[in-house]
Amino acid sequence: MRRKDNSQGTDNVLVDLGFDDAEELSAKAALALKLNELIDKRGLSQTQAATITRMTQPKVSQIRCYKLQNISLERLMQALVSLDQYVEIIVRPAQHAQRRGITVAA
């Protein structure tokens, strides 16, 4: 997770802070937020969430604390599916060169 200089503001604070993997981090955060909302809504303990999602309890703990460096986007999506969610990935041409990237709506 290296930072790079970005003097022009964007709608992504991680890009503005200069993280070269800002889009991935932002996508992970959006998926983790949804996952945490589902865990809370269902009243699951970390152990119960781990069993349902087929993760270890320490991984669930990392997600609960938004420490997402060692958790892949794919793993977060699989966990959401385990909690009866539908995850859709859409790939389409970028309208403008500045609009290429990753967006997650959860």
> Residue 76 sits in a domain of what CATH number?
1.10.260.40
What is residue 23's predicted lDDT score, i.e. its pLDDT? Answer: 82
The model's pTM is 0.76
Whether 6 contacts 16, CB under 8 Å: yes
Number of domains into which the chain is organized = 1
- 74 occurs within a structural domain: yes
CA 41 to chain centre: 18
- 10 occurs within a structural domain: no
Confidence grade of residue 6 (pLDDT, cut at 50, 70, 90): very low
Radius of gyration of the chain from Cα atoms? Answer: 15
State the Cα–Cα distance between residues 61 and 16, nearest whole angstrom.
28
Alpha carbons within 13 angstroms on the beta-carbon side of residue 21 total: 10
Cβ partners under 8 Å of residue 46, min gap 6:
57, 60, 61, 64
10-33 pLDDT, tens per residue? 666 665 666 677 788 889 999 999
Task: Give the mean model confidence (pLDDT) for residues 23-45.
Answer: 95
What is residue 3's predicted lDDT score, i.e. its pLDDT? Answer: 47
- 71 occurs within a structural domain: yes
What is the residue range of 51's domain?
32-99
HEC states along 20-44? CCHHHHHHHHHHHHHHHHHHHHHCC
